[in-house]
């Protein structure tokens, strides 16, 4: 049976855990005001002693207090490389829990590279991608969910992704998962103890107790699944497709959302023949917006290609914005578009409300028996009317209410979400076994699976290959 006390500590005894001294450039490899070269490992202070010369005095940096800053110069033998500030941070009070040195130098690409080359020449080796954060994980400073949140903070595209990543970085996922695992482990221990010592520990009436515990666990995991349902989508951006008849105002809407004249707008129907794509931030949410050709029956071969592409984008879209011209009556083209939206997340936009209306929201809702379930917003893309309400409707569809990162966790990482789903299914198997009258040792097997899957989220039950794969995606120097 799987050992519930398995953890990443087993890696430290083998080749997986490296303790040599590493170095890398920690800032972007482009000209900037400041560049940083980071060194970490047991010989970090010895390496800096060999290349650093203070402006005044002769005290070596290996002899100074931790968490102090020193002004001086970096030399390669007698060749001056740069004027620098050096930060000394001794383990375990550092990012990696090892002795760490950061050299703050001028940000020219040449000088930063020369300093790194000098550091490597005098005793360090080049760090692998993400190796500083990997060491922080293996040394117990952070768990795997926190480690993965580091790269998510760096790559955040919107306020939601940033807030979610920072919440994980503070340990929100770790704390929640540890509590869930503790509850599961308690039941495993009780079952195993009762099976090993039936004379002193009875399982009589235990099914009722376990059933109550299971319901609580399933409810809690279901809540995390629900809040995280759109997590990855919000992190990467919602694929948002603008559709409608020709000249309904789709391109005007795109221009309004983007904030500039991205699409050509003319009174001529069918101006947009191909798709236009833009990424925008709306109320802290990233939308990957696609403006499509107007959907209508046409004999024009080029226009028909555009219409076919519009239909394909509707099939793949996460959100459809259906733009309806309020100044014209509905026709067969509108009804075809309505059919395309069936079973899709969509918002209906009644556009051109600055003109005398010909159709009303009631007319639209009567177009299809199921169409009145879609949110409807009256807008004027030309005048900018209704944009705030549109933003609210999008938030309602994807955020399930107001987000509070103090109370909830949002798993935006696909690996973590898959592990959570597997844990949930394992607990359902326990419930099925109980209902089928199976022996208690069957419960223990599935409970252990749930315990292991939850552990993989925070890195307590994660193999070496997966660890290496995760950190290989990090940037160099992080």
Is residue 208 one of the residues assigned to a domain? yes
83-92 pLDDT, tens digit each: 999 999 999 9
Same domain, 161 and 286: no
Question: Which has the minimum average pLDDT: 59-73, 116-130, 195-209?
Answer: 195-209
Is residue 368 one of the residues assigned to a domain? yes
- Residue 382's CATH number: 3.40.50.300
Q: How confident is the model at residue 102 (pLDDT cuts 50, 70, 90)?
A: very high
Same domain, 275 and 385: yes
Q: What is the pLDDT, as a whole number, of residue 4?
A: 43
- As a whole number of angstroms, the distance between CA 317 and CA 308 comes to 14
Indicate whether 217 pLDDT > 60: yes
Same domain, 244 and 392: yes
Domain boundary among the residues 357, 378, 399 is at: 399
Q: What is the pLDDT, as a whole number, of residue 408?
A: 63
Is residue 2 one of the residues assigned to a domain? no
Q: What is the pLDDT, as a whole number, of residue 265?
A: 43
Q: What is the pLDDT, as a whole number, of residue 294?
A: 66
Q: What is the pLDDT, as a whole number, of residue 467?
A: 82
Same domain, 103 and 65: yes
Residues 353/378, Cβ–Cβ less than 8 Å: yes
Q: How confident is the model at residue 269 (pLDDT cuts 50, 70, 90)?
A: very low
Is residue 4 one of the residues assigned to a domain? no
Q: How confident is the model at residue 270 (pLDDT cuts 50, 70, 90)?
A: very low
Is residue 62 one of the residues assigned to a domain? yes
Same domain, 276 and 367: yes
Q: What is the pLDDT, as a whole number, of residue 454?
A: 93
Is residue 476 one of the residues assigned to a domain? no
Q: Which domain holds residue 325?
A: 238-399
Same domain, 167 and 116: no
- Which of 4-18, 182-196, 373-387 is predicted most confidently? 182-196
Indicate whether 263 pLDDT > 50: no
- As a whole number of angstroms, the distance between CA 324 and CA 265 comes to 16
Q: What is the pLDDT, as a whole number, of residue 331?
A: 81
φ/ψ bin of 106: left (φ > 0), alpha (ψ from -120 to 50), beta (otherwise) = beta
- Residue 445's CATH number: 1.20.120.430
Indicate whether 403 pLDDT > 60: no
DSSP string, 37-106: EEEESTTHHHHHHHHEEESS----GGGSPSSEEEEEEEEETTEEEEEEEEEEE-TTSSSSSS-EEEEEEE
Indicate whether 118 pLDDT > 70: yes
pTM for this model (two decimals) = 0.70
Higher pLDDT among residues 411 and 266, named by residue: 411
Q: What is the mean pLDDT of residues 100-109?
A: 95
Same domain, 244 and 216: no
306-339 pLDDT, tens digit each: 666 777 878 888 888 988 888 888 888 888 888 8
User: What is the percentage of the chain residues whose pLDDT exceeds 70?
Assistant: 85
Question: Which has the minimum average pLDDT: 50-59, 120-129, 404-413?
Answer: 404-413
Q: Helix, strand, or coil here: 354?
A: coil
- Residue 111's CATH number: 3.30.1360.120
Domain boundary among the residues 141, 163, 195 is at: 141
Contacts of 463 (CB under 8 A, 6+ apart): none
How many independent structural domains does the chain possess?
3
Q: If you average pLDDT over every residue of the chain, what do you get?
A: 82
Q: What is the pLDDT, as a whole number, of residue 280?
A: 81
Phi, psi angles (nearest 5°) of residue 138:
-65, -30
Is residue 72 one of the residues assigned to a domain? yes
Q: What is the pLDDT, as a whole number, of residue 382?
A: 83
Same domain, 72 and 98: yes
Helix (H) or strand (E) run with residue 332 in it = helix 332-340
Same domain, 242 and 328: yes
Same domain, 125 and 161: no
Q: What is the mean pLDDT of residues 146-168?
A: 78
Helix (H) or strand (E) run with residue 309 in it = helix 301-316
Indicate whether 412 pLDDT > 80: no
Same domain, 191 and 282: no
Indicate whether 295 pLDDT > 60: yes
Q: How many contiguous H segments (helices) and E segments (strands) does the chain have?
A: 17, 13
Same domain, 159 and 225: yes
Is residue 478 one of the residues assigned to a domain? no
């Amino acid at each position: 049976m799987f050992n519930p006390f398995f953890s990443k500590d087993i890696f430290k005894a083998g080749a997986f855990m490296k303790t040599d001294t590493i170095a890398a450039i920690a800032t972007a490899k482009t000209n900037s005001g400041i560049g940083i070269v980071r060194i970490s490992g047991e010989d970090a202070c010895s390496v800096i002693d060999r290349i650093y010369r203070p402006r005044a005095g002769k005290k070596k940096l290996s002899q100074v207090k931790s968490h102090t800053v020193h002004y001086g110069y970096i030399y390669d033998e007698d060749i001056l490389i740069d004027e620098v500030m050096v930060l000394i941070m001794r383990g375990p009070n550092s990012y990696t829990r090892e002795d760490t040195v950061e050299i703050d130098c001028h940000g020219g690409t040449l000088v930063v590279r020369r300093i790194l080359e000098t550091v490597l020449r005098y005793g360090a080796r080049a760090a692998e991608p993400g190796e500083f954060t990997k060491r922080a994980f293996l040394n117990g400073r952070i768990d795997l969910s926190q480690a993965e949140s580091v790269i998510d903070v760096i790559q955040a595209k919107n306020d939601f992704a940033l807030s979610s990543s920072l919440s994980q970085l503070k340990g929100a996922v770790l704390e929640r998962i540890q509590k869930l695992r503790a509850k599961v482990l308690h039941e495993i221990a009780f079952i195993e103890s009762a099976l090993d010592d039936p004379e002193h520990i009875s399982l009589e009436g235990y099914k009722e107790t376990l059933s109550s515990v299971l319901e609580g666990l399933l409810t809690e995991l279901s809540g995390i699944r629900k809040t995280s349902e759109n997590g990855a989508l919000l992190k990467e951006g919602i694929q948002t497709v603008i559709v409608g008849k020709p000249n309904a105002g789709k391109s005007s809407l795109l221009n309004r959302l983007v904030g500039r004249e991205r699409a050509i707008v003319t009174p001529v129907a069918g101006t947009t023949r191909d798709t236009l794509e833009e990424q925008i931030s709306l109320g802290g949410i990233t939308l990957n917006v696609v403006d499509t050709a107007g959907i209508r029956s046409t004999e024009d071969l080029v226009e028909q290609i555009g219409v076919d592409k519009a239909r394909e984008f509707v099939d793949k879209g996460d959100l459809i914005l259906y733009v309806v011209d309020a100044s014209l009556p509905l026709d067969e083209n509108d009804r075809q578009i309505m059919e395309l939206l069936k079973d899709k997340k969509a918002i209906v936009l009644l556009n051109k409300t600055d003109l005398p209306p010909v159709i009303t929201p009631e007319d639209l809702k009567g177009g299809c028996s199921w169409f009145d379930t879609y949110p409807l917003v009256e807008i004027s893309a030309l005048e900018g009317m209704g944009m705030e309400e549109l933003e609210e409707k999008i938030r309602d569809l994807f955020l399930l209410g107001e987000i509070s990162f103090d109370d909830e966790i949002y798993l935006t990482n696909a690996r973590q979400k898959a592990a959570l789903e597997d844990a949930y299914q394992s607990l359902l198997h326990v419930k099925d076994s109980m209902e089928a009258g199976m022996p208690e040792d069957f419960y223990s097997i599935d409970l252990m699976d749930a315990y292991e899957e939850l552990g993989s989220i925070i890195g307590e039950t994660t193999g070496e290959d997966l660890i290496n794969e995760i950190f290989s995606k990090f940037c160099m120097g992080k």
